[in-house]
Amino acid sequence: MSTEQNKPATVPASVAMLRVLESWGVKHIYGYPGGSFNSTMAALDAEKDRIQFIHVRHEQVGALAASADAKLTGHVQVCFGSAGPGATNLLTGLYDAREDHAPVVALIGQVPSTNMNYDYFQEFAENPMFEDVAVYDRTVMTPESLPYVVDKAVREAYKHKGVAVVVIPNNFGYAQIPDTPYSSSSPTDRKPAPLPHATDEEVREVVRLIKEAKRPVIHVGRGIGAGGEKLVELSKKLQVPLVLTGLAKGLVPDEYEANLGYANRAACKAADEAFATADLVIALGSNFPFANLVYRTHEFKFVQIDADAGRFGSHHFLDYGVWSDATSFVESALRLIETGEVEETESTPFFRACVAANQNWREYLQKMMNRESDPLEFEAVYKQINRVAEEDALFSIDVGDNIINSFRYLNLTPKNKWTISALFASMGYGLPGAIAGALSFPERQIFHIAGDGAYSMVMQDLITEKKYGLPVINVITSNASLNFIKSEQDDIAMPQHSGIFLEDQDFAMIAQGMGVEAVTVRSSAELPAAFDKAVEVTKAGRPFLIDAKITDKRGLPVEELEFHMEDGKLVETINANYNANGTLHHPETLEEFFASYDGEELLPMTHYFELEGVEI
């Protein structure tokens, strides 16, 4: 046998690395090439039949897309950037992944090892840049260790539900290393992690606290998972209304009469009012980033039920804590009711009042969504999205007023998938999220909803939809204003708005310049034809953009409603800071306040409290 035949098989280290990622189920990698990443680019070409390179036009878009992809699929996703500016451009998307607990691996280019520590072009000490964002942050030290380190990075990203960073000196990727299996991926990795369960004694104690309370509320987070229908059953049996965190939207049926919606600013009126008057709050599988604001308005007893014991007391001191998966807690409570160990609760005044106030609010939303508007107002846009959306449509929603409006007007069920930049709240998330959704769920209808401020930050990557034939319906609500910030400035004692007005753009014409079909709409009468065209084009496999030129009106700010005791009676008023800059009409009464937002039919929660005899 010849010497050549005796040589062990070898493979470029970068190819071995990609095969590790393939073994973990990675289907595509988002990135923008640079000279310090060329060894990996060569490997991506060699492995193109097994893993797809998605060429975005900005590294931030790649990182945001990887984050969104990980949130939508639950699987590790990968992005990359070259040395120096390519690496720093990734940080926004990586922080989004960190804050929303998404498993993402970031591959970072570095100059060849032979040029390191010589102040070489684009050479930076890159690990320190990622120290805060990453759960795993390593520079590869030898070609042979490259696939091992990447395999380890995937494991750490999954373990910690976070970001793993691997810095790769460019010359290492070209080096030939033994062609042996480097992956530790195993079918056992796919098993769901065991979850804690509440004891019957713990469930009975929570039920006891509910029965003692006069105004109990369950604050539901995404930890409820697939248990939304069961929670509705428990809510009815114990007469406890539900207030949702944003990420729980779609998990509890919107049509349930005691699903009051959302608290704080992206809120529904009855939810804010019920929360502001509750004497018992049960946080069920929820991590509420505005808790230090909303939970401090008044005193109440606080119960926390969470599968992560590390969260106990993070937002409010505990009266009682239960280490348990949210859905299994609900199931245990229903079982105890069924066996007669826990009694159902008769109809309560507080529950009835909340349901009535919620119905009043929903009728207002329906009125606003169904009325004609010229110039166009935002509610009509959501009516058309709901009309054409398929039952399992996927939505990627950007930061700003569209978060508030989506919570209030967008129909979502457990059949849908949707994604937002929840805790980091990075503008420009919507387009990358839609790209990710279209790649990982090609069988679904995809919507991208963004305002003009957020979309302007990333709109160059509309061409990525075109390049890869991603049939996304892009809905841009443009009003030449950073309206979410404008509304905040309404309530600050500053003489005028500052820095929030944008130069308007013809987004449809810009899209057409990229080869993407698009239309501009300026009235509600033009919307049906625009959305019908969007459906037609996307069903043919092409992206479409609707530039909806809406007004910059403010949606009804229910967060401005407040309560206080006056002569032994609960009184509902408007926050004194409302319209502090004098831009809007300042109402003297609640009736004037509601009417200024076309809500003449809206009634304060105190009306329903008096009607039902709620005790304070």
Residues with a known catalytic role: 59, 121-122, 265, 399, 484-485, 488
Strands 176-178 and 394-397: unpaired
- Both tokens assigned to 24: 């973990």
Query: Which of these, 457, 464, 456, 475, lies nearest to 435 by C-alpha position?
Result: 464
Is 481 strand, coil or helix? strand
Side-chain half-sphere CA neighbours of 528 within 13 A = 3
Phi, psi of 139 (to 5 degrees): -105, 130
Peptide bond into 181 cis (omega under 30): no
CB 404 within 8 A of CB 558: no
- Both tokens assigned to 8: 């062990």
- Both tokens assigned to 367: 């009125």
CB 303 within 8 A of CB 282: yes
Is 281 strand, coil or helix? strand
d(CA 518, CA 377): 19
Q: How many helices (H) and strands (E) does the chain have?
A: 24, 22
Say which amino acid occupies 318. Answer: L
Four-residue CA torsion sign, 531, 537, 539, 545: negative
Residue 94: C-alpha distances to residues 63, 101, 107, 443, 559 (Å): 6, 10, 11, 27, 31
Alpha helices in 131-227 (DSSP H): 146-160, 200-212
